[in-house]
Amino acid sequence: MMIEGMENLTTSDIHQQMSHIFDVATGVGLPCTVQNCGDMIYRSTLDPELRRELKPLFTAQGAALLSTLFIFLSITPGALPGYVEYYVVQPIQDRMRKKYSLEDFTLGTKLGQGGFGVVYFATNNETGEPYVLKRADDYGEAEEWMNRRMQIAAWNACAPYVGSWQGEPSKPGAYPPLWLAWKYEGGRTLFEFMKEKDFPYNLEPYLFPDEESYPRTLAVGDPERTAATIRAIMSQCLDLLVQMHGTGIVHRDVKPENLIFDENTQRFKLIDFGGSADLRFGVNYVPKQFIFDPRYAAPEQYIMSTQTPEAPFPPIALALSPVLWQLNLPDRFDMYSLGIMYLQLCFKSLRTDAGVQKLRKDLTASNESLSAWRRANEAKIRDPEAWAILDANDQAGWEFARLLTKKIPRRRISAMTSKFDRFMLNRPSLLKKIDRLIPFPTGQEVNADGTLAYDSFGSWLLFRVARSGTDESGGFTEAQLREFEEDGNPENLEDAKQYLGMVASEELQKYGVSKAFRTISNKKTRKSSK
Ligand SMILES: Nc1ncnc2c1ncn2[C@@H]1O[C@H](COP(=O)(O)OP(=O)(O)OP(=O)(O)O)[C@@H](O)[C@H]1O
Ligand SMILES: [Mg+2]
């Protein structure tokens, strides 16, 4: 077979034509594996990855970079979930939310009147259900924003928000107010419970429904019973703040009046977000004026450095939010307010307005030192139950109060860490654990009043600590004790041996520590032989 038109071509003509084609192909730049390159054989037999023409998709550096970015976007206040919330969830939720107006409700009694609006009880005309309506003359937009955010990211930490609408201006030319609506949660805030004479017992039926179990089996007046209720209230408040801070919102007005008790779930919830700041999106973090309650506001007043610029538009604000959060730790503002509230839960005299105002004045005068406040007021405040609650379990409650009210925000405890505090966990102190582990011979040293200075290993240890505080005089140094407390687990035999040996080498010899060690060893043998 012959191709048409080629019958007259000679072999040399065909070669000439072919070499033209190759010339053109060279210009186009085909790879060496196709072209007639000098090193064709050598290169094509080598694996492309080995000759570094192909890079693996995930290098170690790439993975490290990606995971750093992921961690950065996930840490508080959570920029990554913020993007999803802002661009996906919020628009869907806004579309689905029923649109209300004032005509849908019949207004009832006034529940509160703040500086920036009025709060009413209301009934839904269609369903007859109870609602709460707020006419916000100022900060309405901030409150609306926070409620929409909370409804998605921390819905069970706040009252169910149902929507908002613009109202009629009070007089022609005035700024129109914003109406906000929530489901009615119940008639009492923590403030109302605290005002009642039988506080904290009035909360027990809700917090501990079983009359036959702890702490309701303890006697009325037993500090441990009151402490259990205080712990339960604080635990709920911490849960609320963990959720709220986790989504990047700082409440800035935490106080008993703003904790509504939800009768359905029997839990407290946060209300009143007009002064809140959203650090995830940079909303309302530079307040126009002091809107905080001076009785509860942290000494730093501002949650963010005043140098912080106004937030840029959402995507940028989101990306920068973890840096701002870590630089300022704005959540610690709420922790201070919670600390003041905690002291009010303990001391009856601080539950009055005058009482808490005096506390704040005294604290300011003593450079915000709670220990100084105690030294000056311990004799004056005759509330044995409160002191007993704070001092129980080696001052676990007192230490917690100090951690919540530290002057410097960075030293103040966060909501998440508070959940694991010794007071909150009601964990026996280290000394009690040691007592259980090491039966100690009855103490020989006697106090001035003739009582034994110590009768257990734990109290001997305390005695040593109290008596000196330095190595030379027979006690322990602060550093030794800290190491013992932080690094040692007295429930672990090896640890106990190591740390007990470390803190009290010679002294323990005198008090029969080798016997104590034998006791531990025996215990271990008994355990392992089981
Ligand atoms: N969802 C709710 N369910 C029941 N009661 C509520 C609810 N929201 C608010 N209240 C009641 O209304 C009061 C005032 O609400 P809120 O704290 O939001 O407003 P406010 O502007 O701070 O007013 P005030 O200064 O009087 O506290 C609360 O103390 C509480 O008693
Ligand atoms: Mg309020």
Mean pLDDT, residues 58-76: 78
So which residues are the catalytic ones?
Answer: 253
Q: Are 373 and 409 in contact (CB under 8 A)?
A: no
For the cut 50, the answer to whether the pLDDT of residue 512 exceeds it is: no
Can you tell me the distance from the alpha carbon of 146 to that of 161, in angstroms, rounded to the nearest whole number?
Answer: 10
Q: Which atom of ligand 1 is closest in space to residue 185's alpha carbon? A: 3
- What pLDDT digit, counting tens, does each position of 23-45 carry? 544 444 555 555 555 544 455 56
Mutate to test the pocket of ligand 1, among 269, 271, 295 (most ligand atoms within 8 A of CB): 271
Mean pLDDT, residues 62-66: 83
Collect all residues with Cβ–Cβ distance below 8 Å to 189 and sequence separation of at least 6. 256, 257, 258, 259, 260, 261, 271
- What pLDDT digit, counting tens, does each position of 177-217 carry? 999 999 999 989 999 999 999 999 999 999 999 999 999 99
Q: Which amino acid is residue 411, in one-letter code?
A: R
Q: Which atom of ligand 1 is closest in space to residue 112's alpha carbon? A: 26
The closest of 309, 337, 311, 165 to 244, measured between CA atoms, is 337
Residue in the block written with tokens 């007259």? 8
DSSP state of 308: P
The Å distance, Cα 187 to ligand 1 centre, comes to: 10
Q: Which atom of ligand 1 is closest in space to residue 186's alpha carbon? A: 4
The closest of 213, 225, 199, 222 to 426, measured between CA atoms, is 225
- Ligand 1 lining (C-beta closer than 6 Å): 111-114, 117, 119, 132, 134, 159, 182, 184-186, 189, 257-258, 260, 271-272
The Å distance, Cα 498 to ligand 1 centre, comes to: 56
For the cut 90, the answer to whether the pLDDT of residue 239 exceeds it is: yes
Strand partners, 277: 250
Q: Which two tokens stand for residue 258?
A: 């703003």
Low-confidence winner among 141-150, 330-339, 340-349, 460-469 (lowest mean pLDDT): 460-469
Shortest-distance Cα residue to atom 29 of ligand 1: 257
Can you tell me the distance from the alpha carbon of 238 to that of 251, in angstroms, rounded to the nearest whole number?
Answer: 13
What structural domains does the chain harbor?
16-51 (no CATH), 80-184 (3.30.200.20), 189-422 (1.10.510.10), 436-529 (no CATH)
Which contiguous run of DSSP H or E holds residue 117?
strand 117-124
- What pLDDT digit, counting tens, does each position of 102-126 carry? 999 999 999 998 778 899 999 999 9
The mean of the pLDDT values for the chain is 78
| Strand blocks (E) in 125-258 | 130-136, 161-166, 178-183, 249-250
Can you tell me the distance from the alpha carbon of 490 to that of 470, in angstroms, rounded to the nearest whole number?
Answer: 23
pLDDT score for 41: 47
Collect all residues with Cβ–Cβ distance below 8 Å to 378 and sequence separation of at least 6. 387
The gap between the terminal CA atoms of the chain, to the nearest Å, is 97
Collect all residues with Cβ–Cβ distance below 8 Å to 331 and sequence separation of at least 6. 76, 241, 245, 250, 414, 415
For the cut 60, the answer to whether the pLDDT of residue 478 exceeds it is: no
Q: Are 244 and 251 in contact (CB under 8 A)?
A: yes
Tell me the pLDDT band of 523, cut-offs 50, 70 and 90. very low
Low-confidence winner among 78-87, 270-279, 419-428 (lowest mean pLDDT): 78-87
pLDDT score for 527: 36
Question: Which ligand sits closest to the CA of 111?
Answer: 1
Can you tell me the distance from the alpha carbon of 391 to that of 410, in angstroms, rounded to the nearest whole number?
Answer: 25
- DSSP for 221-245 reads T-HHHHHHHHHHHHHHHHHHHHHHH
Count the neighbouring beta carbons within 10 Å of the beta carbon of residue 465: 16
Q: Are 242 and 416 in contact (CB under 8 A)?
A: yes
Mutate to test the pocket of ligand 1, among 105, 119, 147 (most ligand atoms within 8 A of CB): 119
| Strand blocks (E) in 251-391 | 259-262, 267-270, 277-278
Tell me the pLDDT band of 509, cut-offs 50, 70 and 90. very low
Question: Which ligand sits closest to the CA of 161?
Answer: 1
Shortest-distance Cα residue to atom 22 of ligand 1: 114
For the cut 50, the answer to whether the pLDDT of residue 518 exceeds it is: no
pLDDT score for 394: 82
pLDDT score for 71: 78
Q: Which atom of ligand 1 is closest in space to residue 257's alpha carbon? A: 29
pLDDT score for 128: 96
Can you tell me the distance from the alpha carbon of 340 to that of 351, in angstroms, rounded to the nearest whole number?
Answer: 10
Mutate to test the pocket of ligand 1, among 131, 132, 135 (most ligand atoms within 8 A of CB): 132
Low-confidence winner among 214-218, 234-238, 326-330, 408-412 (lowest mean pLDDT): 326-330
Q: Which atom of ligand 1 is closest in space to residue 182's alpha carbon? A: 1
The Å distance, Cα 525 to ligand 1 centre, comes to: 62
- What pLDDT digit, counting tens, does each position of 458-475 carry? 666 665 655 544 555 555
Phi first, then psi: what are they for 227, rounded to 5°?
-60, -35
Shortest-distance Cα residue to atom 23 of ligand 1: 114
The Å distance, Cα 90 to ligand 2 centre, comes to: 26
Shortest-distance Cα residue to atom 18 of ligand 1: 272
Collect all residues with Cβ–Cβ distance below 8 Å to 12 and sequence separation of at least 6. none
Mean pLDDT, residues 320-327: 76
Q: Which two tokens stand for residue 458?
A: 């734990």
pLDDT score for 528: 37
For the cut 60, the answer to whether the pLDDT of residue 403 exceeds it is: yes
Can you tell me the distance from the alpha carbon of 401 to that of 363, in angstroms, rounded to the nearest whole number?
Answer: 13
Can you tell me the distance from the alpha carbon of 201 to that of 203, in angstroms, rounded to the nearest whole number?
Answer: 5
Can you tell me the distance from the alpha carbon of 359 to that of 295, in angstroms, rounded to the nearest whole number?
Answer: 9
For the cut 90, the answer to whether the pLDDT of residue 175 exceeds it is: no
The Å distance, Cα 212 to ligand 1 centre, comes to: 35
Question: Which ligand sits closest to the CA of 114?
Answer: 1
Q: Are 251 and 241 in contact (CB under 8 A)?
A: yes
The angle, 0 to 180 degrees and rounded to 10, between the axes of the packed helices 223-246 and 332-346 is 160
Question: Which ligand sits closest to the CA of 137?
Answer: 1
Mean pLDDT, residues 445-456: 63
Over the Cα atoms of the chain, what is R_g?
A: 35
pTM, full prediction: 0.72
The Å distance, Cα 110 to ligand 1 centre, comes to: 10
Q: Which atom of ligand 1 is closest in space to residue 136's alpha carbon? A: 21
Shortest-distance Cα residue to atom 24 of ligand 1: 114
For the cut 80, the answer to whether the pLDDT of residue 72 exceeds it is: no
Residue in the block written with tokens 């966990």? 425
The Å distance, Cα 254 to ligand 2 centre, comes to: 9
Q: Which two tokens stand for residue 463?
A: 């005695």
